[in-house]
Structure 1
Amino acid sequence: MPVTPQVAPSSNSYTVRHAVIAMLRELGMTRIFGNPGSTELPLFRDYPEDFSYELGLQEAVVVGMADGYAQATRNASFVNLHSAAGVGHAMANIFTAFKNRTPMIITAGQQARSLLQFDPFLHSRDAAELPKPYVKWSCEPARAEDVPQALARAYYIAMQEPRGPVFVSIPADDWDVPCEPITLRHVGFETRPNPQTLTALGDALDAARSPAFVVGAAVDRGQAWDAVVALAERHQARVFVAPMSGRCSFPEDHPLFAGFLPAMRERIVELLGSHDKIFALGAAAFTYHVEGAGPFIPAGSELFQLIEDPAIAAWAPVGTAAVGNIRLGVEELLARPQVTERPAPARKPAPPVPAAPAAGERMSVAYAMHTLAGARDPQSIIVEEAPSSRPTIQTYLPIFHSETFFTMCSGGLGHSMPAAVGIAMAKPEKKVIAVIGDGSAMYAIQALWSAANLRLPITFVILKNRRYAALQDFSRVFGYREGEKVEGTELPDIDFVAMAKGHGCDGVHVQDAGQLAQVLKDAIAYPRPILVEVEVA
């Protein structure tokens, strides 16, 4: 199979494009996610047959797809955007990728260097500044010959914990400039936490009367799931999920699972009130959504943290923090001798089975999610973006296995629909089910076209409540009276089945609760992408 042109590296015809393609191939990055513009076209001339171009119909969709793919493959993805306008379109999902700690090399075309002094059409002024502060590093190389080395540096930075997106602006005439090949280096991406701090943390856990763990997305991201389960079992610690976590990091059917913490200071303190030692693993301590008051942790308790991100450790208001790779840190704690035995805490009670709706009423989200939980394989992957329904989804659609739940850590909408496409590309052996609110779906609905074009058997479940329910529910925090109208939050008359068919996907509408179980079973077994529009109260 032909690949890149067989050009001797020492010849003048070995160009920046040849060097970059060779580097990406060596790094296993042969999928390029993009939506092409004029300044990007030189990269794709003589495009190698072992590469694929993954087209998204809008740049936010492109970055969302690349985010899901990178998370699922645990390797950086390569994204190609169009100058300032394309980066602007993509910024919401670049922000989410930064919060998700997703490794991603984002490139954007720039006008030819010879034109930049004339303020040309479609150029990006101060291109390296545009995506800041939501990339780990950005540059526009000083010379065309520096582009391959800049991209190699970008890869190392993106993959170094805490991982995240990086940005390189590349003028259109750089690709054909002769250059030398680069040699990729081995760079360690994980750092071991400070041994003395881990010793203090381990001593505190050994001496605890009633320890609690608070797990965040970095546990699953860092392949520490099994180690954290073992450590929780050793200490008989109740395990809570940190607020706004974008991954599942502990089996939600485990006897030690205690539930989800809300992003509210007073409620966190209340829920952790019976615990004397609190251990935040791979999680901020703590993420808040509303202003609060009072202490950050219960009186008489102590907070300890293991986090891969030194910036998060720096702003934690209280406690002792160990900074480094989560898995390595937990494995060191497990290597300590077990010195205490304590009884198991009380198990969290099971939620009540949601009732079917009365005749003529719409089904509840609880009923829909309970039905979906019964229809799906527990090993299937749930990709969620339904903020107003999240507490109900957490209750009635539990997650049991590592790498089977993804959402956004940012709160920004438009991530999960395209992320489901990227995850399905990376894990073709798994069933991917995207649970999306109707308001969220409209931020990246073009992802349906990519799913259809790639013939990915994703099941998109749209929870259609015809409103921005999260804003209506949240309005009380800002002084709205019960029943008071919240402007701009009604979403009538959106036909998602029609939009699915317009993008090349099949679709079905469900309003009768009695039909839901069979419709979901059929949709999950469907060999192509399909959208299920579910009317909920």
Structure 2
Amino acid sequence: MDAGTVREVTRALLRELGLTTVFGNPGTTEVPFLTGWPDDFRYVLGLQESVVVAMADGYAQARREPVLVNLHSAGGLGHALGSVFTAHRNRTPMIITAGQQVRALLPDEPFLSATDAAAFPRPHVKSSLEPATAGDVPAALARAHRIATTAPQGPVFVSVPADDWDRPAEPVPARPATSAAAPDPAALSELVTALDGAARPAFVVGPAVDHDGAVPGLVELAERTRAAVWVSPLSARCSFPEDHPCFAGFLHPERKLLAAELAAHDLVVVWGAPAFTYHVDRGEAEHELPELFLVHDDPEALARARRGRGVLGGVGAAVRRVAELARPGADRPAPVARPGPPRPEPGPPLTAARALAELRAGWDRDRVVVEEAPSHRNDLHEHFPITSRDGGFLTTASGTLGYGIGAAVGAAIARPERPVLALLGDGASMYGFQAVWTAVREEAPVTFAVLDNARYAAVAVLGDRGGGRELPGVELGGIDFAALARALGCPASTIRTAGQLATALAEPTTGPRLLHVHVDPRPRALY
């Protein structure tokens, strides 16, 4: 690789790293990076920076590869911070760049400059810097790639002054990503001894299982050991098929309920999840948690756990090694299959449960589902079981709205052979509706199903349980999502009955479409 400008050296480096698809929203400080855009690079335009980051997040998660994002100075990064926070919680390998004003103007805090740019996105990036000299930019980006892709993965930020791109730079070799550390053999041996001696073991699976591509191995391990398998609270990935006989259900994000759900087991092995994530507090648990082993590649996740033996290392490697060593559980009773829910009422009105059942019946189980409909999470669990063993379900680990609609577009761009269904609440959709424009522009195979109950129902329901009364700001209503989609060039239908929904789903489609599904606004308890 020959020396050249920072721009030339950086583009050569990005080619070596496979970072030729860039998600962005440009401004004047990005022009020097974008000028003379190469034919072998792809620029995915988003119309607002938080949407840009959400799309890139879905893209990286669907491909299990890092992604490059280009934002506009401090204002653009500021718009994006909610989605950066989500990418941090999603452990998304993302390199975020933003343009900075030219170096000669920085002492005067010029228009569009970022004061202390490296500090702005902290603490929700793994690393953040503005290179000291222009020649350091390629090396900074190479370092950002290594940090973002090293477990635990996450976003990294680099601020680049606009005049750096035309300065000279030396070539920087690309280095392969660092693999996750192997778990300590002694700790795994202790886990296996406990598992062999347990009478009623349970596994709790979290996002890192699917992130590591370890779902098939974990299924085999659960079958062999006859362990019941629970999903960790508010998990952002599907790490165990929900139609499997070993599947036990979803743990609640509340101490008392969670401890009661695990009380029947004498050993719990937590794979790739925090132990545990809580959302509401109703006091200390009445049941003592069983003996715990926690397998994770993030030392902070292990340190935060209140109890249990931590096993630090790659989840996939740990699953494989435990499967080699653990004895079969033929003498244990098989886990009791989770009972199916009753068929939802036919209506009218069309309930969210019935709508989700119709969506499940009309959707190929091997396709990708991206969900951001927090008011309907229980109905989703009951009536839309996720059965994919390969990255077939994505949602937000942060709880910050605006992820789903953009991530669905990014996931569809990433793997167009796997069409995407976006299950969205009406409130969540409005945090990033601009993503529909990008879906049209990119001809992304995504179906947006907006479940419209005319309110921020999760806020209303949890607020009521927490003692709130006559809350303002929770009623929506009157938004015509089909008209909004058509204004952005996306085909759309308005749905008020189960029959209309079934008919719409049966219609062939190749690009994006939106289904505005009006559902019963009456609330259902969350947890």
Classify the TM-score, shorter chain: over 0.9
Aligned pair partner of 2:416 in 419, 423, 428: 428
Per-residue CA distance 1:63-83 (angstroms, 9 max, x = gap): 011001111111110000011
Deviation at 1:189, TM superposition (A): 2.5
In the alignment, structure 1 residue 110 sits paired with structure 2 residue 100 = yes
1:363 alignment counterpart: 350
The more displaced of 227-236 and 138-147 is 227-236
State the alpha-carbon separation in 2 of the partners of residues 56 and 161 from structure 1: 28
State the alpha-carbon separation in 1 of the partners of residues 164 and 112 from structure 2: 16
The more displaced of 285-294 and 45-54 is 285-294
Determine helix, strand or coil for the equivalent of 2:157.
Answer: strand
Matches of residues 299-310 of structure 1 in structure 2 within 5 Å?
299=288, 301-310=290-299
In the alignment, structure 1 residue 241 sits paired with structure 2 residue 231 = yes
Per-residue CA distance 1:372-415 (angstroms, 9 max, x = gap): 11101111111110001011111101111121111101000001
Letter in 2 for 1:433: L
Deviation at 1:513, TM superposition (A): 2.5
Per-residue CA distance 1:145-178 (angstroms, 9 max, x = gap): 0000000000000000110000000000000001
CA contact (8 A) 2:224 2:328 kept: no
Matches of residues 176-325 of structure 1 in structure 2 within 5 Å?
176-295=166-285, 298-299=287-288, 301-325=290-314
In the alignment, structure 1 residue 441 sits paired with structure 2 residue 434 = no
Deviation at 1:187, TM superposition (A): 4.2
Unmatched runs of 5 consecutive residues or more in structure 1:
1-7
State the alpha-carbon separation in 2 of the partners of residues 521 and 460 from structure 1: 15
Per-residue CA distance 1:104-124 (angstroms, 9 max, x = gap): 000000000000011100000
Aligned pair partner of 2:316 in 305, 323, 327: 327
Deviation at 1:519, TM superposition (A): 1.3
State the alpha-carbon separation in 2 of the partners of residues 299 and 470 from structure 1: 30
In the alignment, structure 1 residue 119 sits paired with structure 2 residue 106 = no
In the alignment, structure 1 residue 532 sits paired with structure 2 residue 525 = no
Deviation at 1:345, TM superposition (A): 2.0
Identity of aligned residues (%): 48
Distance 1:195-1:470 versus aligned 2 partners, 3 A rule: same
In the alignment, structure 1 residue 459 sits paired with structure 2 residue 447 = yes
2:475 alignment counterpart: 490
CA contact (8 A) 1:376 1:521 kept: no
In the alignment, structure 1 residue 386 sits paired with structure 2 residue 373 = yes
- Please give the root-mean-square deviation of Cα atoms over the aligned residues, in Å: 1.2
Letter in 2 for 1:495: D
1:5 alignment counterpart: none
2:32 alignment counterpart: 42
1:373 alignment counterpart: 360
CA contact (8 A) 1:19 1:181 kept: yes
State the alpha-carbon separation in 2 of the partners of residues 290 and 340 from structure 1: 36
State the alpha-carbon separation in 2 of the partners of residues 262 and 456 from structure 1: 35
State the alpha-carbon separation in 2 of the partners of residues 161 and 337 from structure 1: 26
Determine helix, strand or coil for the equivalent of 1:107.
Answer: strand
Matches of residues 504-523 of structure 1 in structure 2 within 5 Å?
504-522=489-507
1:4 alignment counterpart: none
Letter in 2 for 1:508: S
State the alpha-carbon separation in 1 of the partners of residues 176 and 33 from structure 2: 26
Deviation at 1:368, TM superposition (A): 0.4
Determine helix, strand or coil for the equivalent of 2:166.
Answer: coil
| Deviation beyond 3 Å, 4+ runs, structure 1 | none
How many equivalent residue pairs? 518
CA contact (8 A) 2:225 2:328 kept: no
Determine helix, strand or coil for the equivalent of 2:182.
Answer: coil
State the alpha-carbon separation in 2 of the partners of residues 142 and 46 from structure 1: 26
Unmatched runs of 5 consecutive residues or more in structure 2:
521-527
State the alpha-carbon separation in 1 of the partners of residues 51 and 234 from structure 2: 22
Distance 1:37-1:195 versus aligned 2 partners, 3 A rule: same
Deviation at 1:141, TM superposition (A): 0.4
State the alpha-carbon separation in 2 of the partners of residues 49 and 514 from structure 1: 46
2:465 alignment counterpart: 477
TM-score by length of 1: 0.95
In the alignment, structure 1 residue 159 sits paired with structure 2 residue 152 = no
State the alpha-carbon separation in 2 of the partners of residues 40 and 527 from structure 1: 33
TM-score by length of 2: 0.97
Letter in 1 for 2:512: P
Aligned pair partner of 1:9 in 2, 15, 18: 2
Deviation at 1:295, TM superposition (A): 4.3
Deviation at 1:293, TM superposition (A): 2.6
The more displaced of 177-186 and 495-504 is 177-186
